[in-house]
Amino acid sequence: MLELRPILSALWRHKVSALLIALQLGLTLAIVSNALVVMNERTERMSRPTGIAENDIVTFNFMAIPKDYDMYGAFRQDMDMIRSLPGVASASVSNAVPLSGSGSASGFYSEPNKETGATGANYYTMDEHFIDALGMKLVAGRGFYPEEVMKISPSSNDRPTIAVVTQKFADDLFPESNGNVLGKVFFNGGDDHPIKIVGIVERNLGPWPNSSVAGRGAFYPAITDRWFHYIVRAEPGQRDKVQKLVEEKLAERDGNRVINSHTIEEEKAQYYAGDNTMVKVLSGVVILLTFIVALGIVGLTVFWITQRQKQIGVRRALGATRTAICRYFLLENLMIAATGIALGTAAAQIFNGLLVREFDQPVLPLMITVSCAVALLVVSLAASLIPALRAANISPATATRSV
């Protein structure tokens, strides 16, 4: 404790350089803590369970060359052929593919003829195999029967009367029901056409996992004759073989179309490409800033030690131990770091408030700020330790030679 006064006196003589290092530490803390909360939010978002067998699913779509192509007839023949292929566990047809960034959504109501207060959700039109093909878990009710699957065209007024929904859709649309929504009806777009819930699946994030409607999904037993996707679930470990085989067989069965295929893993990677890039860039920023602040501390400590060699030699000649010399510089660094961390904690909260208000970023938890502060304190002490040990090895003869 007796060293505090000379340390404060030395810092006051070098107040500009000490303040710059403290500000650098504070700025680093503000940026790193907010970067970590954004990285954590993005990582959690990408690691959410999707509710489907994403590792085993391949999707196919095609563009028919003839203008009057019989899409519905092609679908029936293609599905029969695909389901007979080796390695195929299940197959279905749908208007949209989960995690693809392309699909359909609407506002739904628990009462007819309402125009405000809709619950937004994704919706799919699919055949009776959709639960098995997507690898979803049915938690209540049932799926569709083959005779319930409708053929819908743009000119048709036919509309589905039943649906399977996700648990989140049920909870959000009927919050008072505690999830017991089997047999309840809902309405699409504020009309009076009732759609009865016959089944509930555990989870499906939908085509846009980052949107406000993610997790809410309604599945209708219907097939459109305009465009659709084949969803094929392969046996575990057979996905790539199935993808190649199905492409070949679809081309052999009908050469009047151009076929494209993607795995769900590819769709997911493409959808989260922005989030992945954000995490990588911020990781680089965190590492770079920490490295720069450590270099600054090392440089400043070495500079001060070089300037004070005579002073250190005199102290050593007067009986100061190596431990005392080392402790002196560590305490000096600790005081600078503590000042910087105090400034950085306040700056981190102000910076986070701006991000939350202007860019809808997550709130910075106090625990992350404290963790970053402790980490920077450790980095600061570690960066000054080697120069401090070097100072401790300065011999008393140094003072004598410089007189």
Give bridge partners of residue 233 from the DSSP assignment: 57, 90
Return d(Cα 373, Cα 338) in angstroms, integer: 9
pLDDT digits (tens, 9 = 90+) for 328-359: 888 888 888 899 999 999 999 999 998 888 88
The least confident of 114-118, 353-357, 360-364, 397-401 is 397-401
CB-count exposure of residue 130 (10 Å: 0-12, 13-18, 19+): buried
236-271 burial code (b ≥16 CB/10 A, e <16): eebbeebbebbeeebeeeeeebebebbbbeebbeeb
Give bridge partners of residue 58 from the DSSP assignment: 232, 263
pLDDT digits (tens, 9 = 90+) for 352-388: 998 888 888 889 998 899 999 999 889 888 888 888 8
In the predicted model, what is the mean pLDDT of residues 188-213? 93
pLDDT digits (tens, 9 = 90+) for 205-226: 999 999 999 999 999 999 877 7
| Contact by Cβ (8 Å): 118, 190 | yes
In the predicted model, what is the mean pLDDT of residues 65-86? 87
pLDDT of 296 strictly over 90: no
pLDDT at position 303 is 83
In the predicted model, what is the mean pLDDT of residues 105-129? 92
Confidence label for 403 from pLDDT (cuts 50, 70 and 90):
very low
pLDDT at position 361 is 83
CA distances from 216 to 45, 219, 393 (A): 16, 10, 67
Mean pLDDT over each residue of the chain, to the nearest integer:
89
Residue 389 C-alpha from the chain's centroid:
43
In the predicted model, what is the mean pLDDT of residues 147-157? 82
pLDDT of 309 strictly over 50: yes
Confidence label for 162 from pLDDT (cuts 50, 70 and 90):
very high
Return d(Cα 217, Cα 173) in angstroms, integer: 11
Structure tokens belonging to residue 394? 């300065």
pLDDT at position 311 is 79
Q: What is the CB neighbour count within 10 angstroms for residue 1? A: 5
Q: Taking Cα atoms as reference points, which of 28, 1, 36 lies closest to residue 337?
A: 28
45-74 burial code (b ≥16 CB/10 A, e <16): ebeeebbbbbebbbbbebeeeeeebebbeb
pLDDT of 185 strictly over 80: yes
Confidence label for 153 from pLDDT (cuts 50, 70 and 90):
confident
